[in-house]
Homo-oligomer: A and B are copies of this chain.
Amino acid sequence: MDKLIECIDALKSPIVVGLDPTLEMIPESLQEEMFEKFGKTPAAVAEMFLAFNREIIDSVSDIVPAVKPQIAMYEKYGLDGVAAYIKTAEYASSKGLFVIGDIKRGDISSTAEAYAAHLSGTTIGGEYFDLWHEDAITVNPYLGSDGIAPFVTAATEADKSIFVLVKTSNPSSSELQDLTVNQDENGNYADSKTEPSPCIHHGATLYRAVATLVDKWGADQIGRYGYSRVGAVVGATHRDVGAELRKALPHTFFLVPGYGAQGATAEDLLGFFDKDGRGCIVNSSRGIIAAWRKKDGLSVGEAARAAAIMMRDELAHVIGRT
């Protein structure tokens, strides 16, 4: 996680811009231009997304250290969309931005190994290909350690990072992630093979059990700022959870979605940071990339830049108090 932390420190800006475009966010003139050139096709939308993203990247690359394209928005437009995702990551990377691929992949070990090419690249007949241009990716923990290990290995070899979903920002994250799970006398989480026992510690949540695994997965990969290369996704919409996990996971860097459009404010984030003002990077998507729709007369890039500066300053105010 060192590279990301250094990028954040350099700009004093723990912000990642979520590059999650939708057709509705694209200014009419750009829509018309691309529909004219490519017809009403996925290729046209892909070209719009790429042009839109480039404008945002160019406008914020000296204000924010990182971008997080959400691959779903691109998969919606099929292969052309995926091409725009890859080109966006490549362009952002060429502008010195740290690229977090929000892909939430996860599978059994042999399959996770294939997905890990997002980080490791692919070698064919001795020739190396970096095909996805991501510096970090998000992954889903539901399959357990053998599904995560290939990502950790790839991240280690390529000096990259992963962020494991721990507590997500959406309302129904509580349905499974907040279920209370049982622990035995030694604090080990109890599975169906554990002997029935008086229910000592039956109040831990599933997300805490996942957090314990995240801590373990990253334990021998701790960098020079005390954070491992196995980070966690912790939604900004859960103020108390952020503070709880910051304390429980001193070596885990957080990727924090849910700021702005999803309802969380800078104030809600105080507990996510460590005493040095580090420990997390906060995502904003619509609040930055769609800011132009609320600011008469500003271009996509100008509005994104203004919104990013405002967010940076709001967070600085909070971090000043950690």
**Chain A interface (Cβ < 8 Å from any Cβ of B):** 20, 22-23, 35, 40-42, 44-45, 70, 72-73, 75-79, 81-83, 86, 104-109, 111-112, 114-115, 117-118, 122, 124-127, 129, 131-132, 140-147, 165, 168-182, 189-194, 196, 199, 202-203, 205-206, 209-210, 213, 257
Contact = CB atoms under 8 A, between A and B. Distances in A.
Contacts of A193: 174, 178
29 contacts: A23-B124, A35-B125, A41-B129, A70-B107, A70-B114, A75-B115, A75-B132, A78-B86, A78-B122, A78-B132, A82-B82, A106-B140, A140-B142, A142-B165, A142-B168, A143-B173, A145-B172, A145-B175, A175-B213, A176-B206, A178-B192, A179-B182, A179-B206, A180-B190, A180-B191, A181-B181, A181-B182, A191-B205, A196-B203
Contacts of A23: 124
Given A20-B111, A108-B168, A194-B180, A42 B129 contact: yes
Q: Is the interface of A mostly helix, strand, loop or mixed?
A: mixed
Contacts of A117: 75-77
A261 B111 CA distance: 14
Contacts of A73: 111, 114
Given A35-B125, A40-B124, A210 B176 contact: yes
